[in-house]
């Protein structure tokens, strides 16, 4: 947040992002939960994390209730394409896959953490497990950039969730 000119950083120049932000809706009063999965459920639904069923990152605490309505589901009803790339961590079972929560496209993993390099048994493309070689941060970024290029001329929602801010570093 503090690395952008639009938010007041006097040292870092971000003119393209600043122009984009001046034409966009900005959500600037979001308060996070102490760990990632509850925060992600709040971002997905606009609701307090405990109301979504997500209270933690382990022992079943990171499973979002199936009846929760996500931003992807709402935007899809309004004609948006929806994509999610990276860490889901709102239910590791296939029935909780982002495809079942309004996303047209998903590349990433359902669990809370994966090996950045050897993730063959944890990587998903849509509803299928796929062995996609490469460093996970690069894969997530590459899929996101491709998605933007493919959908730049239509309304779209892209949710990117990198693991690089988590353990294992």
Residue 161 sits at φ, ψ, to 5 deg, of -135, 95
Strand partners, 81: 156
Phi-psi region of 145 (alpha: psi -120 to 50; beta: other; left: phi over 0): alpha
Contacts of 91 (CB under 8 A, 6+ apart): 62, 63, 64, 97, 110
Strand partners, 163: none
SS3 string, 81-115, reads EEEEEEECCCCCCHHHCHHHHCCCEEEEECCCCCC
Exactly one of 89, 101, 119, 143 is catalytic; name it.
89
Exactly one of 36, 119, 151, 157 is catalytic; name it.
36
**157 a catalytic residue:** no
Which sequence positions are flagged as catalytic? Answer: 36, 89
């Amino acid at each position: 947040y503090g690395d952008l000119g639009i938010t007041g950083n006097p040292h870092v120049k971000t003119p393209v992002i600043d122009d984009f932000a001046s034409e966009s809706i900005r959500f600037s009063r979001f308060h996070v939960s102490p760990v990632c999965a509850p925060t992600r459920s709040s971002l997905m639904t606009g609701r307090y994390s405990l109301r979504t069923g997500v209270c933690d990152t382990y022992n079943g605490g990171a499973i979002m209730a199936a009846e929760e309505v996500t931003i992807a589901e709402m935007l899809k009803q309004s004609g948006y394409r929806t994509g999610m790339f990276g860490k889901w961590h709102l239910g590791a079972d296939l029935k909780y896959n982002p495809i079942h929560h309004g996303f047209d496209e998903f590349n990433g993993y359902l669990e809370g953490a994966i090996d950045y390099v050897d993730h063959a048994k944890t990587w998903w493309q849509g509803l299928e497990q796929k062995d996609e070689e490469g460093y996970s941060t690069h894969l997530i970024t590459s899929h996101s950039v491709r998605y933007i290029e493919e959908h730049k001329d239509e309304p779209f929602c892209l949710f990117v969730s990198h693991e690089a801010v988590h353990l294992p570093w």
